[in-house]
Chain A
Amino acid sequence: MQRLSFHELEDELRAVGAAPPVIARITRELKDHCEDAEATAIARGLSADVARREALASLGSTETIVAAVAASPELLDWRQRWPKSARCVDSLAWCIALPAAPFCFCASHPAAIVRWGLSSSLAACVTGSILFAMQWMILISPF
């Protein structure tokens, strides 16, 4: 009989889009349930190891629990329940984040921005000077 693994269960629940608080609570309650079942089995005279195995087996398989969660929309994350709304929110967030990114970068790196500004200005001055000199050379040339 397949035994339940709590880590595997958490991963599978995340994969079907269960809400994080639901995952945490189901796992915690299943662990408590398992402890209760184990204590009952030990009281019946089973060894700790056999009791543990029996308790885990009684919970059922990961697939069964995940299927039960997936069948209840109210236990799923809002992105899973309303995918169209999630896409709208994502698009809106990107529309705000992309133009705001350069401003945020400037605010958080003022020294880098000053260096960048100075070097750009210097490069513009040097290029401008060369073009100016070339223009004058053309103008004053006797040829």
Chain B
Amino acid sequence: MAQTNPPFMSGVPELLVLRLLAGQEMYGYEIVRAVKLVTDEAISLGEGVIYPVLHGLEKSGALRAKRKPVNGRTRVYYSLTSKGRSRFERLTREWDRVSSGIHSALSGREHAKA
């Protein structure tokens, strides 16, 4: 059975989506597959959760959605706007700050044990 994500994962799907869309435009299913690929399946998203995240980011102006006909079907492709790009940079900085803080706290605990 796949591991579930811990509760502190809130906000991670948004960061991953912004990271992936910074490179190229993608549709929902493609994003989910890319998340699995780039995280070595360490992060398991309920795949349906990606759409509220995408729509929320689109409503806030961070993403742009465009319908494209592909093989007789219409796919919704998402791409990053300039607002999304600055949001991604801000979130990355925050992530780096928090993760380095947690890392040093955990390392400190290890030192304390030793």
Chain A residues close to B by CB (< 8 Å): 4, 22, 25-26, 29-30, 32-33, 36-37, 58-61, 64-65, 68-69, 71-72, 74-75
Contact = CB atoms under 8 A, between A and B. Distances in A.
Given A32-B73, A33-B28, A36-B29, A60 B46 contact: yes
Interface in B31-79: 32, 45-49, 51-53, 55-56, 59-60, 73, 75-76
A65 B73 contact: no
A72 B56 contact: yes
A22 B29 contact: no
Given A32-B28, A33-B29, A74-B59, A64 B51 contact: no
Given A64-B49, A74-B59, A75-B59, 10 more contacts: A32-B73, A32-B75, A33-B29, A37-B29, A60-B45, A60-B48, A65-B52, A68-B49, A71-B52, A74-B60
A74 B63 CA distance: 14
Nearest to B53: A68
Interface class of chain A by DSSP: helix
A59 B48 contact: yes
A75 B58 CA distance: 10
A75 B54 CA distance: 11
Contact of B47 (A26, A60, A69, A72): A60
27 contacts: A22-B55, A29-B28, A29-B76, A30-B48, A32-B28, A32-B29, A32-B75, A33-B28, A33-B47, A36-B29, A60-B45, A60-B46, A60-B49, A61-B46, A64-B46, A65-B46, A65-B49, A65-B52, A68-B49, A68-B53, A69-B52, A72-B53, A72-B56, A74-B59, A75-B52, A75-B55, A75-B56
Interface residues of B, number: 18
Contacts of A69: 52
A65 B48 contact: yes
A25 B59 CA distance: 13
Interface string B21-32: 000000011001
B112 to A, nearest CB: 36
Nearest to A37: B29
B48 A33 contact: yes
Contacts of B55: 22, 25-26, 72, 75
